Amino acid sequence: MGRNTTVLVIDDSAVWRKIIRKRLKDLGFIIVGEAADGQDGVGKYISLKPDLVTMDIEMPTMDGLAATKRILEIDPCARIIIVSSKGDESTVRKALLIGAIDFIGKASISKVWDSKLKKYVKKAGYSQTFKKIAGYIKDIKPAKLLAMIVSKYSARRKKDGYGD
């Protein structure tokens, strides 16, 4: 199922790293590394460049929210799933606003884990195409991008005969 999708597991609990690693391996994902805190996780992300990261929230040295933010500053295309027992609405919202792509509660049943993880299997060419697109727009300021979109939209409406 997860064939060719590499994963970095970041969690301060050795027991939970083992559980997450087993769940991912059972789905066919390739575990390329593990880290016990956010700071080590950021370093390993840089060196390993995995397709996917599972990230706990509460960890020593650097928590999961800070590590997620740092990884996304380094690589805006990083795909990070928060896997945590701290699943209150505020924390989940913060993680998703920072840029995490999903949240899995550690206490969730196997079906929830499987259905969520299956969505992130690497599609052929997906990662490279997404990184290429992100590279093109990386340096464009939001206001400039919005102006470009509005300009294209206005030109299209005029072309289609809708006027201004």
pLDDT of residue 139: 61
* Separation of alpha carbons 90 and 83, rounded Å: 15
| Nearest alpha carbon to residue 18 among 106, 95, 94, 80 | 106
Q: Does the global pTM surpass 0.85?
A: no
Residue 127: predicted pLDDT:
53
Q: How far is CA 144 from the centre of its chain?
A: 26
Where along the chain do its domains lie? Answer: 6-122, 129-159
State the fold for domain 6-122: Rossmann fold (3.40.50)
Q: How far apart are CA 32 and CA 77, in angstroms?
A: 18
pLDDT digits over 70-83, tens only? 999 999 989 999 99
Structural contact between residues 64 and 80, judged by C-beta atoms closer than 8 angstroms: no
pLDDT band of residue 125 (cuts 50, 70, 90) is very low
Mean pLDDT of 98-112: 87
Contact 106, 83 (CB under 8 A): yes
Per-residue pLDDT tens over the stretch 31-77: 999 999 999 999 999 999 999 999 999 999 999 999 999 999 999 98
Of 106, 41, 48, nearest in space to 69 by CA: 41
CA dist 121 to 29, 54, 129, Å?
8, 13, 15
Token digits of residue 46:
């840089």
Q: Is the pLDDT of residue 103 over 80?
A: yes
Span 135-145, average pLDDT: 62
Distance from the Cα of residue 60 to its chain's centroid: 21
Q: In 2-84, where does DSSP find H-type helix?
A: 14-26, 38-48, 64-74
Q: Are the C-beta atoms of residues 106 and 116 closer than 8 Å to each other? A: no
